Structure 1
């Protein structure tokens, strides 16, 4: 599968190809979820994120359609969130255990990990909410009608749509960076994470025309997004411990764990702000114009025979 938009192919056909393939991946993942819910839900949610990045990128081509699709996908992702959140908490507890500096920290992290693994097992074994979530998400994808999407095939119009979408994505990331740098709030860093993840996916879609976004740059941006994800996981864990920590691990262990989380979060915030200043584009408009220009130039080149056959 190629998730890259080929400027030499009709724009509307390329978008339908990509969203059809991603939808197929999501549906296949939901089938996997019937026997392996953790893996299936995770893969489906990743496909949903990629689809939402597509709709955001091309929204200027068919605003009403793309907006409806984005809202529906957000709701569908929410149906699958419970189990993934339980697994993310387990993974965060594992990272805390690996980062323990002494026996007290190690014991507290081990107690937390055991409690969260037990909680996750209950969700997996009960399946009370899993089967309806699979059915609802599958029904969403079965209702999709890509023929209702109205996109131009003119390279000039397509380049304008993609340039506009890329510019909005870069501006969204810069606004989130400025908010995170200014406030230091967990919610601001979470917004930055979402913006960076979407930007990474859009850069992959525009791989052939996005300047200064080669393979190494994309990998660095994706690693940045992963660090922001770890930071968000720490915030979610701290929120859980603030509400339920005494019951989960006891008051003393809870205090130890929250101190570990606070130290880890501060370190990650410093790294993330440094990465943001290095990787995010402070002047999106010139980059967006270059994306549009490159798309238009490449659109004038006929596909090679092997490309057409593929």
Structure 2
């Protein structure tokens, strides 16, 4: 797989290959018919997130290039995000309905879903200037693709990755520690981003000890999904306050509001329980453990 770094091959070459693979996949995801653009944007955004995690893994050897490329990808992701919001709201509604059950069987709740569906369909089909936005994004992704071969990646083996791994994991632990003291909305949003960085980096490093790393990746995926679902419900709460008519009359909103809040709290509790053991290890110890896996893989595991 292109989105993996194998200890017995050139790390710098693999980093460039993984970066090109993510960029090409993002470009391909956006080269779809208009009717499929919603899913195309979703897939492109995922590839960009994976690439940004890769950039953070090699941020030290990249030096100033890291800031330039990270900013480029941040801007691209921001341009793509607005066209995805309405679809994400609908998906979040359906997840909540499956979890809660009976209260969502009413006609009033059905009307809400139909409004959310119409909103998503309209957003995907006729977003003002979406075609221009996509063309601009594709051009900037091509620019990023051409820039990859000029990346300065001085260093060898695990040393190229150690500082980036340390920073990303430490940042996730720091956000978790803050949440233990003050569990606020912004904190959970920030922790979600740092969890995804560590998850994607562990995916990149999975060949160093496939079985063990795959287990860690699966736990991080569950954590990221819980935090993602929680954030989507937070966005629904904001919409409930800003666009109340979208969610029916006052009686319907009175039923819906506590269901959203209860589900958010359950997801937060689940995330904290999942996250504590994943971030219990000191950053230096985790990096040294991974370094030892890397060394062992170079000696004993195939390419």
Relative to the length of structure 1, the TM-score reads 0.89
Is the aligned partner of 1:148 residue 2:155? no
Query: Could you tell me whether the CA contact under 8 Å between 1:172 and 1:195 is conserved in 2?
Result: yes
Query: Could you tell me whether the CA contact under 8 Å between 1:197 and 1:225 is conserved in 2?
Result: yes
Alpha-carbon offset, residue 160 of structure 1: 2.4
Alpha-carbon offset, residue 175 of structure 1: 1.1
Determine the C-alpha separation between the residues in 1 that align with 2:209 and 2:66: 22
Q: Which residue of 2 aligns with 1:114?
A: 114
Q: Which residue of 2 aligns with 1:255?
A: 254
- Spell out the pairing of 1:29-178 with structure 2 (5 A cutoff): 29-32=29-32, 34-100=34-100, 102-103=102-103, 106-144=106-144, 145-155=147-157, 159-178=158-177
Q: Which residue of 2 aligns with 1:23?
A: 23
Alpha-carbon offset, residue 96 of structure 1: 2.6
102 and 206 in structure 1: CA distance in 2 versus 1, 3 angstrom threshold: closer
Query: Could you tell me whether the CA contact under 8 Å between 1:166 and 1:202 is conserved in 2?
Result: yes
Provide, for residues 233-262 of structure 1, a one-character-per-residue CA deviation record: whole Å limited to 9, x for no partner: 110000110111135422221221111101
Q: Which residue of 2 aligns with 1:194?
A: 193
Q: Which residue of 2 aligns with 1:270?
A: 269
Determine the C-alpha separation between the residues in 1 that align with 2:34 and 2:160: 39
Relative to the length of structure 2, the TM-score reads 0.91
Query: Could you tell me whether the CA contact under 8 Å between 1:105 and 1:257 is conserved in 2?
Result: no
Determine the C-alpha separation between the residues in 2 that align with 1:61 and 1:299: 22
Query: Could you tell me whether the CA contact under 8 Å between 1:169 and 1:198 is conserved in 2?
Result: yes
Secondary structure of the residue aligned to 2:207 is coil
Determine the C-alpha separation between the residues in 1 that align with 2:16 and 2:101: 51
Deviates more, 1:129-138 or 1:102-111: 102-111
Determine the C-alpha separation between the residues in 2 that align with 1:125 and 1:296: 51
289 and 139 in structure 1: CA distance in 2 versus 1, 3 angstrom threshold: same
254 and 237 in structure 1: CA distance in 2 versus 1, 3 angstrom threshold: same
Determine the C-alpha separation between the residues in 1 that align with 2:210 and 2:103: 50
Alpha-carbon offset, residue 11 of structure 1: 2.0
Query: Could you tell me whether the CA contact under 8 Å between 2:62 and 2:153 is conserved in 1?
Result: yes
Alpha-carbon offset, residue 298 of structure 1: 4.5
Determine the C-alpha separation between the residues in 2 that align with 1:26 and 1:103: 39
Alpha-carbon offset, residue 83 of structure 1: 2.4
Query: Could you tell me whether the CA contact under 8 Å between 2:112 and 2:246 is conserved in 1?
Result: no
Determine the C-alpha separation between the residues in 1 that align with 2:35 and 2:87: 16
Q: Which residue of 2 aligns with 1:182?
A: 181
Aligned residue pairs total: 301
Query: Could you tell me whether the CA contact under 8 Å between 2:115 and 2:246 is conserved in 1?
Result: no
